[in-house]
A and B are shown apart, each in its own frame.
Chain A
Amino acid sequence: MTHSLHREGPLDLLNQEYVLFIYPARGFNYDGSGPKSRRLMEMLYTQGPANMLVSTLRKNMYFGIPQEEILKSIKDGAKIYSVFNEKEKIKKTLAKIMEMDEGISIMVSGVADRVREVAAELGLNPHTINLSLGIHGRTDRLPPADIRQFTTMCGHGMVSPRLVRDVIRRIKTGKLDLWEASLIVAAPCACGIVNPYRSVEMLKDLVPVYTVNRL
């Protein structure tokens, strides 16, 4: 899956966003990866991610599931997905991961130059890079870019363009605040990598330019 590679949005916001995956390799280090992933996730909780999810539960950190229950669900092969909002946070997190040295693959998605800086500052030697060469085909059929900046945070396409428009309408009619709307948009993503903090910033810009056609 390359579900974090094609995120769209304002570059100033993308520059601050880092998606981090903890990913055991099938047939290579699955066995015994459960306790390692659990230790890593425990550590992630202390680093202030903007969102996080483990593949064994598929509910993001805003669903109110107790931390103990989430950690308990982790077994061999579990993958952990998270997103961070600040360079310093991802840097500290990666430094901790290096220190713990669990041997599980770590991916960071973000603006290449920013990730490169983080790697250089930590003395890391990244192994492989995945580049996005953009969208092809009938791009005229896509929702507009201002909606895609929300929907592409979930590369699996679980965040519906209509849901984004719906929360905009509900903000404008006073039924939701920006944060509540952002959590609604984040909920369908089964990987927990929709960043509600970024959604708040984008909604601030977007809400005034949309009109309400029904209450």
Chain B
Amino acid sequence: MLIRKDLCVGCGRCQPYCPVDAIHFEELKSAVDQEICYECGTCFRSEICPVDAIEESPYVFDYPRALRKFFSDPTATHALTGIAGRGTEESKTNDVTNRVGPEDVGIAIEVGRPTLGMDLPNIQKITRAMAKAGITEIEPENPFNDMIQVRETGDLKPELMGERVLSAIMEFKVKRSELGHVLRTIKEVAKEVDSVFVVDVYTRLEPGVIIPREVLNTIEAEGYTWRPNSKINMGLGRANKGKDS
């Protein structure tokens, strides 16, 4: 994002809206630190500027900076996948897609959440660790795929190393029996990254809204606890008859 110096009146009203404190006074006018800015567009969408001095940078969709926009602005649609958002539909439509089957567990590593965001060198620590643990296939429509240069090693594209994203979701599925191994790897790499991420596990429910014991036991055995929150697919969706376009 940019703030036009010729228009800015230096009221500072936009500054609290930036989720990462990228807007500061410079010679009595507000200015965006381009290194810190994630291009999330929150300052612009807030419509708080009394003189319309906030603008989208002309180079926001230039590669590789566009990565910031695609992974930080929830209203942006990723150019590669055509999907808005940081990940895929994951559990939200699993009643229709059955992407995660009865023997599977879906796992999401939401890098940069909450609040802090993450730069690509730190994301690469995670992708490399996961690749080493045998996780080389990310959900096919997940825009995260676009960052990866070599699946087998988890190396990200070198030209992206100067970029950072407010959030991106590394999403994959494994067999239930592999969950423990993956959670162990996540715990190890958490010690190396200089930011935060949240971890989600999603699984099919048994009748009576019962979470499979095997999944809970594994989570506990690896020293994790699940928070009281959950996100539950109510099982009311169904696919159209015939092929969707």
Asked if A and B bind, the verdict is yes
A contact set with B: CB distance below 8 Å? 1-7, 11, 14, 21, 23-32, 55, 58, 94, 97-98, 101, 103-113, 115-116, 119-120, 124-139, 141-143, 148, 151-152, 155-163, 165-166, 187-188, 190-191
Q: Are A128 and B115 in contact (CB under 8 A)?
A: no
Count of interface residues, chain B, beta-carbon cutoff 8 Å: 83
The chain B residue sitting closest to A163, CB to CB, is: B16
Task: Please report the C-alpha to C-alpha distance between residue A31 and residue B240 in the assembled complex, in whole angstroms.
Answer: 8
Of B62-70, B131-139, B151-159, B195-203, the one with at least 4 CB within 8 A of chain A: B195-203
Q: Indicate which residue in B116, B167, B233 contacts A105 across the interface (CB closer than 8 Å).
A: B233
Q: Are A116 and B229 in contact (CB under 8 A)?
A: no
Known interface pairs A128-B233, A141-B195. Does A113 touch B240 (Cβ–Cβ under 8 Å)? no
Q: Indicate which residue in A7, A28, A133 contacts B240 across the interface (CB closer than 8 Å).
A: A28
The chain B residue sitting closest to A155, CB to CB, is: B113
Please, what's the 1-or-0 string for B172-209, where 1 marks a CB less than 8 Å from any CB in chain A?
A: 00000000000100110010011111111111110111
Q: Are A6 and B229 in contact (CB under 8 A)?
A: yes
**Chain B residues, Cβ within 8 Å of A5:** 198, 200, 229-231
Supplied contacts A132-B229, A158-B40, 8 more A-B pairs, CB within 8 Å:
A1-B74, A1-B169, A30-B245, A111-B229, A112-B229, A132-B198, A157-B112, A159-B19
Q: Are B202 and A125 in contact (CB under 8 A)?
A: no
Task: Please report the C-alpha to C-alpha distance between residue A97 and residue B236 in the assembled complex, in whole angstroms.
Answer: 9
Q: Are B91 and A130 in contact (CB under 8 A)?
A: yes
Task: Please report the C-alpha to C-alpha distance between residue A131 and residue B201 in the assembled complex, in whole angstroms.
Answer: 5
**Chain B residues, Cβ within 8 Å of A3:** 74
**Chain B residues, Cβ within 8 Å of A142:** 114-116, 196
Q: Indicate which residue in B17, B114, B202 contacts A135 across the interface (CB closer than 8 Å).
A: B114
Determine the main DSSP class of B at the interface with A: loop
Known interface pairs A112-B230, A130-B230, A136-B197. Does A98 touch B236 (Cβ–Cβ under 8 Å)? yes
Q: Indicate which residue in B86, B186, B199, B232 contacts A128 across the interface (CB closer than 8 Å).
A: B232
Q: Are B16 and A126 in contact (CB under 8 A)?
A: no
Task: Please report the C-alpha to C-alpha distance between residue A115 and residue B208 in the assembled complex, in whole angstroms.
Answer: 12
The chain A residue sitting closest to B212, CB to CB, is: A129
Q: Are A105 and B230 in contact (CB under 8 A)?
A: no
Question: Max chain A CB contacts within 10 Å: which of B190, B228, B245?
Answer: B228
Task: Please report the C-alpha to C-alpha distance between residue A190 and residue B219 in the assembled complex, in whole angstroms.
Answer: 32
Q: Are A139 and B196 in contact (CB under 8 A)?
A: yes
Task: Please report the C-alpha to C-alpha distance between residue A3 and residue B21 in the assembled complex, in whole angstroms.
Answer: 21
Q: Are A133 and B17 in contact (CB under 8 A)?
A: no
Q: How many whole Å from B243's CB to the nearest CB in chain A?
A: 9
